[in-house]
């Protein structure tokens, strides 16, 4: 039953005539009658009857009108509860992020927004949009020139564009150069992320630019582990320039002939942004990411 139709029945009980209901609700008497007829079709017994020229409630109609008060009261209470939830700036907000963003931004985020609930989600690029069904805000990344996020499934809120550089040990002859080319690095052993993960596309671009396949020896998704392996001489790697924990044993160099980078965005479902607490956390994320991380 439509709550609006129940309200009409309740108003007819309280006001005594269709005309009085129409005046109170600023609609025509015929509209009142039509909507009461619609309500009647969903009932098993007559709800109204004629008493002379007036339309009055039957016993069943009076019983339903009394029940309608409870229904309308519950709906109003539910509406107020939803409003309070949407307006509460401290209601919990769940945030997921891939590892390097989590490592760089989560400590400062929980300091600024105590309502946040953090989780790490290092997934393949194609799996990030699906996480928006499990978390309020999903910090996701994709390399430049890759397909955009599916706008029909998630709202995309850009954070930053982050350059991606080649990482090498401090003692490497390549570290003496300020800028490198794809040909300079293509012949080295490499440490890559697992297949399907966003920044792996940069290695594919290096191989294409150099005209030769790369020798990928290790696959590690955690950049702090990768940095330690690079420092130990296990190979070169690609690493983000802004969300990487500095390691004095490792040098980062850009590729002069192959500018590489990734978009770091927040993915969310559109309705989630109606909540004041979510908007507050999003604002904090934007400030933290643009200031470079922890303060």
User: What is the tens place of the pLDDT at every residue in 133-150?
Assistant: 999 999 999 998 889 999
Distance CA 288, CA 72 (A): 45
Distance CA 68, CA 274 (A): 30
Residue 189 is encoded by which pair of tokens?
């052993």
Q: What's the burial of 91, exposed, middle or buried (CB within 10 Å: 0-12/13-18/19+)?
A: middle
Q: What's the burial of 207, exposed, middle or buried (CB within 10 Å: 0-12/13-18/19+)?
A: middle
CATH 2.120.10.30 fits 3-87, yes or no: no
User: What is the tens place of the pLDDT at every residue in 178-221?
Assistant: 889 999 999 999 999 998 888 888 999 999 999 999 999 999 99
Q: Give the CATH number of domain 93-291; options: 3.40.190.290, 3.40.50.11930, 3.40.605.10, 3.40.50.300.
A: 3.40.190.290
pLDDT of residue 69: 84
Assign 93 to helix, strand or coil: strand
Mean pLDDT of the chain: 90
pLDDT of residue 291: 87
Q: What DSSP state is assigned to residue 67?
A: H
pLDDT of residue 84: 67
Distance CA 119, CA 294 (A): 18
- Name the pLDDT band for 39 (thresholds 50, 70, 90): confident
User: What is the tens place of the pLDDT at every residue in 88-109?
Assistant: 778 899 999 999 999 999 999 9
Q: Provide φ and ψ at 156, rounded to 5°.
A: -105, 125
Give the E-state strand segments of the chain in sequence order: 48-51, 54-57, 93-97, 116-120, 137-143, 155-169, 189-192, 215-219, 236-240, 250-253, 261-268
The residue extents of the domains of the chain are: 3-87, 93-291
Find the mean pLDDT for residues 261-283: 93
pLDDT of residue 293: 53
Output Rg (C-alpha) for the chain, integer angstroms: 31
120/15: higher pLDDT = 120
pLDDT of residue 295: 39
pLDDT of residue 86: 66
């Amino acid at each position: 039953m439509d709550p609006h139709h129940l309200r009409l029945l309740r108003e007819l009980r309280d006001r005594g005539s269709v005309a009085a209901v129409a005046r109170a609700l600023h609609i025509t008497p015929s509209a009142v009658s039509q909507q009461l007829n619609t309500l009647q079709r969903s009932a098993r017994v007559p709800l109204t009857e004629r008493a002379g020229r007036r339309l009055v409630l039957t016993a069943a109609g009076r019983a339903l009108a009394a029940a309608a008060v409870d229904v309308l009261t519950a709906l109003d209470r539910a509406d107020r509860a939803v409003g309070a939830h949407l307006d509460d700036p401290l209601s919990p907000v769940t945030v997921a992020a891939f590892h390097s963003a989590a490592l760089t931004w989560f400590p400062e985020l929980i300091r600024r927004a105590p309502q946040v609930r953090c989780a790490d989600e290092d997934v393949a690029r194609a799996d990030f949009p699906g996480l928006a069904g499990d978390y309020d805000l999903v910090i996701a990344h994709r390399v430049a020139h890759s397909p955009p996020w599916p706008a029909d499934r998630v709202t995309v809120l850009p954070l930053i564009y982050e350059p991606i550089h080649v990482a090498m040990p401090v003692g490497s002859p390549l570290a003496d150069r300020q800028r490198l080319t794809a040909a300079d690095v293509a012949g080295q052993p490499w440490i890559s992320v697992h297949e399907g993960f966003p920044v792996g596309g940069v290695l594919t671009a290096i191989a294409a630019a150099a005209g030769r396949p790369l020798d990928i020896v290790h696959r590690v998704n955690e950049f702090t582990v990768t940095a330690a392996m690079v420092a130990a001489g296990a190979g070169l790697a690609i690493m983000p320039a802004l969300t990487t924990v500095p390691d004095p044993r490792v040098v980062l160099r850009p590729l002069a002939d192959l500018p590489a980078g990734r978009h770091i965005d927040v993915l969310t479902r559109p309705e989630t942004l109606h909540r004041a607490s979510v908007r507050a956390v999003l604002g904090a994320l934007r400030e933290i990411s643009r200031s470079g991380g922890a303060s």
